[in-house]
Structure 1
Amino acid sequence: MKMKRRLTLRFVLHSAIAGLVVLLIAAITVMWVLLRLSEINLTDNFVSVGLERLVESSEFGADGIIFDPKLLEQVKQNKGWLQSLDENGKVEKSYNTPSDVPAQYNPGELAAYWQQQQDFPYDVYLWIQEKHGKMYTLLYGVPEVLKPLLQAVSEEPSSYAEGKLLLSAKTESRIQALGGYVQLLNPEGNEVAAFNRPDSAPAKYTVQELALRSKYEGRYGYRMAFDYNEDTGQTWVVSLPNDVAKPSAKAPLISAEMRIVLTGIAGMLGATLLIFALLSFLNARRFGAPMFHMLAWLDMLGQGSYDEPVDRKGRPRSRLKSGKWKRRYSIFADVMLSLDQLTEILRHDEDRRQRTETLREEWITGITHDLKTPLSSIKGYAHLLAEDTYDWSSEEVRKFSAIMLEKSAHMDTLISDLAITYRLRSGIHVPQTEAVEMRAWLGNALEQAAANPEYGEGRIIYQSPDTEITARIYRPWMERVVGNLTANALLHNSSDTQLTVTLSAMDTGRLVIIFRDNGQGMDEQTAANLFERYYRGGDTASTTNGSGLGMAISKGLVEAMGGQITVSSAPGKGTEIRLIWDGLLATISG
């Protein structure tokens, strides 16, 4: 899988996971908000919500009906009591029931208590529901405090001074104990007098204000009761704090329901931001660390350090002990492999450059020696000829001149070889070729090479096929190649070394010339550097008939003519050099 596809898949996967987590957080938030709203609704409207839940959550056990303990605890917090009645009005199950509550009700009695047609110290609420074939009748009661207190206040003689109601000590004590307050309003809704009124309670009521405060008790923290006097137009208002919602100094700007919704939204946004921050941190570690590692690697390559950055233990940061990629680096495997290959190439090129510099220095030393040697001879003989104290004979002058010409020719050969190596390096083009019968031509070229007195006699063996082989070649270049390879085999080995030259052709159009000697051979390093421009396998001063460039020139000429040259050698086993051309062959005839 390519890196682009791997990165795309990884980012899509991360985004999908983040989206699922966000959806899960949203679902949890919605469930939490609904649960909290349900709890508030249960607290504020226990009569309409809680009694229904009591029936729905009830179960039948060995001891009869069993209610949800949490809902029963809510009954207790409301200072209420609970009774379960059968069809005859008999109490089957009760919870937190005071002693003054009957254990048996007849139909008329229960209806009178429920409709408040008969005095009863409790507000009674009735819930009837069928479940699993059984008719549930729940009776829920809470102490009746507000109406008796309102009745006591309204029946007392209304007297007040400086806006303060003057009530009986018993009534005032009762109101203060309950944490409530009393107001007397005129027909316009303005406060005439009050007792124990907090600053949060208004001194003037509109129709809407009074209706809202009596309807939404939980929002304002007080329960209210009113007594309107038709004769005077005045209204008595008695307010007591809710049992579960404690009064505050001011009416809340945000309702409890809205606070829960806002809290849920804030929690969801905070969790989402945390998830994305965590995801960003993980992505930074997973994707950032490999990128910084690769940048550091490239920086080291730019500084000439051809190794991958390592950790404190000296191991490459991107790999495990086993050599495999670490997980965070595996996604960039293509780039890492490319960097690894680039490092190896640069290291190899640096090593080659250093070897080339060394070989160049050695070659310059050798070529300088090779140039100075004949130049010294020429200079010495020139001084002799220019000396006035000697009268040289014609024969001596010709001898000196011949030596000077020989040394000049050797210097010219060295300079020509150096020039042609640079021409080959810059991409020399093959001159006009001609069709040549190779069997006869190669035989003549070897005879000319064997004529060199330094080689000795009978050291070249020529093997050719019986058929005529015609190929298109450039004769001067081929003669130079044959001469260089012959000289390399016969001059750098012992005098009894023989050179066998084999010519062969194939039906595929391949032409092959093999130079094989039985000399001392070469080691691996010498064979690998045989065709280097600045490499001389032996002492540069071992012979004056060479520039150290012959093999490099031969390789360049062969390759310029579209062929290839290879060497195979080992110490003590001689050397074999093959010249191979594909497509150079013109015809083969018997």
Structure 2
Amino acid sequence: MKIKRRLTLKFVFQLTVAGMVVLLIAGITLYWMKQRFVEISVTRDFASVGLERLVESSVLEKEGIRFAPNLLEQVKQNKGWLQSLDENGDEESSYYTPNDVPKHYRPGELVAYWTGVKPFPYQLALLIQQKNGRLYTLVYGAPNLLDPLLKQVSEGTFPVADKQFVLPDAIAGEIKAAHAYFQLLDPEGLELASYNKPNGVPSQYTVQEMALRTLYSERYGFHMRTLYDEQTGRTWLVGEPNKGVDSDSGTKPWIPEEYQVVFLGLAVMFTVLVVLFVLLSLWQAHRFGAPMLHMLVWLDSIGNAVYQEPVDRRGFQRSRTPAGKWRRRYRVYADMMVSIAKLSATLQKDQAMREQSESMREEWLAGITHDLKTPLSSITGYAHLLVEPSYDWSQEEVRKFSALMLDKSGHMDNLINDLAMTYRLKTGILPPETTEVELNAWLQQTLVLAAADPAYGKQRIVFHAAQTDVMVRMYTPWLERVVNNLTANSLLHNPPDTILTVSLLASEDRSFTIRFADDGDGMDETTLSRLFERYYRGTDTASTSNGSGLGMAISKGLIEAMGGRISVETQPGQGTIILLIWNG
């Protein structure tokens, strides 16, 4: 898998997971807010909201109906009670029911209590609902503080001081504990006296305001009961603050409880998301940034000629475990890391080869300088002898000196030509115009001329021709030079009894191979690996006057320039085989 696709899949997967986590957090927040809204509604108005929740949460078991424990706990906190009735009005189950509550209701009795036609010490709420084929009848009772209190204050006679009733301690404590208040109004609705009246309660009422405050108590913040005295025209009014309302002013909090839930939920959600994205950013930096930084440091080290991968404090490679496996965060960059490692190894190898080539070139230049100066010294010496007036050289001596000077100058010419040829081959020289030759006859003739060199000895070259004529187009001077170089290497750098066998092998697809095989000393791996280097010499210059250290490099370059390739097989003590191969 390519790194681009791998990175794309990684980022898409991570963004998808991050998006799903965000949606999950948002969903949890909305669910929590919904539950809080329900709890607020149940707390404020259990009679209408809580009873429906009770039915929804009910489970019919063998022992009877089981309700949600949290809703029953809310009933207890409201100081209320709960009954479940069957179709005959009998109590099936009850919770926190006082002793003065009936266990059985006649059809008209329950309605009379509920509508207030018949006095009942509790405020009642009924819910009749069908669920799972069963008809539920729930009776919820809550303490009725206002009606008894209204009756008590209207029947009593209390002194008034500065428009404030002076009540007995028992009644005053009861009113204050319930955060209740009461007022006495004249026939025009003007307050005559009051007790524990909050600041938000008016001192005068119109007909409309009295009716609105009685019907829409949630709008004004207070729940009221009134009693009109027909004889005096006065009105007694008892009230208490609704739940969640300031008992002094009758106003709702500056920030309603629902808004508080919304603000808290959003604040927690955004805080969690910010923390999540910070952690995700740190994880991304650790997961993707650290490997990229590691690779940049490595590349910077390569630029400073330090090719080893950076290591940690313990000396281990940062990208791998001590066991040599990729660390998890580096796996996605494995291809790139391998490429950098290959680049580092190649550059390191090239640097070593450059240093080696530089050293070899200096050695070669020293050797070639020696090779040039030695014959030049001989030529100069003989020239000085010839021009010396104090000597009268004979004609035979002059010819001898001249022959030696020609031999030395020819050696110098060969060295210079070899040097020039190596640089011509390096620039991509192409062979001059080729001619068609029959390779069997040409090779045999060339080897006969080469064998005539006295330095080789007699009968040391054996030629095996191909079974058929081999017609090729070739620039024969270059091929002749290659044959002479390979022949000289085999016969001059091996023991005197070494035999060189040259074979021409041809195939029907016009491919052919010239095989040079000797039974000499062979070469070791170091010599073989450097055989075709331009500045490498297998022996010193003293071994022969014909060696320049460039023969094999020139041979390889000439063969490749003519469309062939050269191959070497050798082992120490088992001779050497050199193949010149041309494919059809």
What is the CA-CA distance between 1:354 and the residue it aligns to?
2.5
CA contact under 8 A between 2:199 and 2:248: conserved in structure 1? Answer: no
CA contact under 8 A between 2:213 and 2:220: conserved in structure 1? Answer: no
Partner of residue 140, structure 1: 140
CA contact under 8 A between 1:417 and 1:550: conserved in structure 2? Answer: yes
1:447 equivalent to 2:448? Answer yes
CA contact under 8 A between 1:126 and 1:139: conserved in structure 2? Answer: yes
What is the CA-CA distance between 1:3 and the residue it aligns to?
2.4
Within 2, Cα distance between the matches of 1:209 and 1:345?
A: 98
Q: Are residues 45 and 378 of structure 1, via their aligned partners in 2, closer, same or farther at CA, if it must alter by over 3 Å? A: same
What is the CA-CA distance between 1:76 and the residue it aligns to?
2.0
After superposing the two structures, state which structure 1 stretch, 93-102 or 141-150, moved more: 93-102
Within 2, Cα distance between the matches of 1:327 and 1:502?
A: 59
Within 2, Cα distance between the matches of 1:450 and 1:491?
A: 12
SS at match of 1:332: helix
Within 2, Cα distance between the matches of 1:82 and 1:332?
A: 68
1:95 equivalent to 2:95? Answer yes
Within 1, Cα distance between the matches of 2:280 and 2:20?
A: 13
User: What is the identity, as a one-letter code, of the residue corresponding to 2:326?
Assistant: W
SS at match of 1:580: strand
Q: Percent identity?
A: 56
After superposing the two structures, state which structure 1 stretch, 298-307 or 98-107, moved more: 98-107
What is the CA-CA distance between 1:484 and the residue it aligns to?
1.1
CA contact under 8 A between 2:129 and 2:137: conserved in structure 1? Answer: yes
CA contact under 8 A between 1:369 and 1:541: conserved in structure 2? Answer: no
Within 2, Cα distance between the matches of 1:202 and 1:354?
A: 105
Instruction: Mark the runs of 5 or more structure 1 residues left unpaired by the alignment.
Output: 584-590
Partner of residue 401, structure 2: 400
CA contact under 8 A between 1:450 and 1:460: conserved in structure 2? Answer: yes
1:316 equivalent to 2:312? Answer no
SS at match of 2:549: coil
Q: Are residues 67 and 316 of structure 1, via their aligned partners in 2, closer, same or farther at CA, if it must alter by over 3 Å? A: closer
SS at match of 1:406: helix
Partner of residue 122, structure 1: 122
CA deviation vs aligned residue, 1:424-445 (integer Å, no higher than 9, x gap):
0111011000111222221221
User: What is the identity, as a one-letter code, of the residue corresponding to 1:126?
Assistant: L
Q: Are residues 177 and 577 of structure 1, via their aligned partners in 2, closer, same or farther at CA, if it must alter by over 3 Å? A: closer
What is the CA-CA distance between 1:564 and the residue it aligns to?
0.8
Within 2, Cα distance between the matches of 1:469 and 1:513?
A: 11
Partner of residue 9, structure 2: 9
Partner of residue 474, structure 1: 475
What is the CA-CA distance between 1:361 and the residue it aligns to?
2.1
Within 1, Cα distance between the matches of 2:361 and 2:290?
A: 43
CA contact under 8 A between 2:563 and 2:582: conserved in structure 1? Answer: yes
Partner of residue 78, structure 1: 78
CA deviation vs aligned residue, 1:395-438 (integer Å, no higher than 9, x gap):
44443333233222211211111111001011101100011122
Q: Are residues 413 and 45 of structure 1, via their aligned partners in 2, closer, same or farther at CA, if it must alter by over 3 Å? A: same
Partner of residue 493, structure 1: 494
Partner of residue 434, structure 2: 433
Within 2, Cα distance between the matches of 1:513 and 1:378?
A: 39
What is the CA-CA distance between 1:182 and the residue it aligns to?
4.7
Provide the aligned length of Structure 1 versus Structure 2.
Answer: 581
Structure of greater relative contact order (alpha carbons < 8 Å, 6+ residues apart) = 1
Q: Are residues 281 and 395 of structure 1, via their aligned partners in 2, closer, same or farther at CA, if it must alter by over 3 Å? A: same
CA deviation vs aligned residue, 1:495-545 (integer Å, no higher than 9, x gap):
222222112322111121111122222111112211110100011332222
Q: Are residues 59 and 523 of structure 1, via their aligned partners in 2, closer, same or farther at CA, if it must alter by over 3 Å? A: closer
What is the CA-CA distance between 1:265 and the residue it aligns to?
3.6
Partner of residue 382, structure 2: 381
Within 2, Cα distance between the matches of 1:360 and 1:369?
A: 14
Q: Are residues 350 and 436 of structure 1, via their aligned partners in 2, closer, same or farther at CA, if it must alter by over 3 Å? A: same
CA contact under 8 A between 1:430 and 1:560: conserved in structure 2? Answer: yes
Q: Are residues 191 and 254 of structure 1, via their aligned partners in 2, closer, same or farther at CA, if it must alter by over 3 Å? A: farther
Partner of residue 43, structure 2: 43
TM-score, normalised with respect to structure 2 = 0.86
CA contact under 8 A between 1:84 and 1:136: conserved in structure 2? Answer: yes
Partner of residue 20, structure 1: 20
SS at match of 1:454: helix
What is the CA-CA distance between 1:491 and the residue it aligns to?
1.4
User: What is the identity, as a one-letter code, of the residue corresponding to 1:463?
Assistant: H
CA contact under 8 A between 2:319 and 2:327: conserved in structure 1? Answer: yes
What is the CA-CA distance between 1:366 and the residue it aligns to?
1.2
TM-score, normalised with respect to structure 1 = 0.85
Partner of residue 31, structure 2: 31
Q: Are residues 448 and 238 of structure 1, via their aligned partners in 2, closer, same or farther at CA, if it must alter by over 3 Å? A: same
Q: Are residues 427 and 64 of structure 1, via their aligned partners in 2, closer, same or farther at CA, if it must alter by over 3 Å? A: closer
CA contact under 8 A between 1:213 and 1:220: conserved in structure 2? Answer: no
After superposing the two structures, state which structure 1 stretch, 369-378 or 313-322, moved more: 313-322
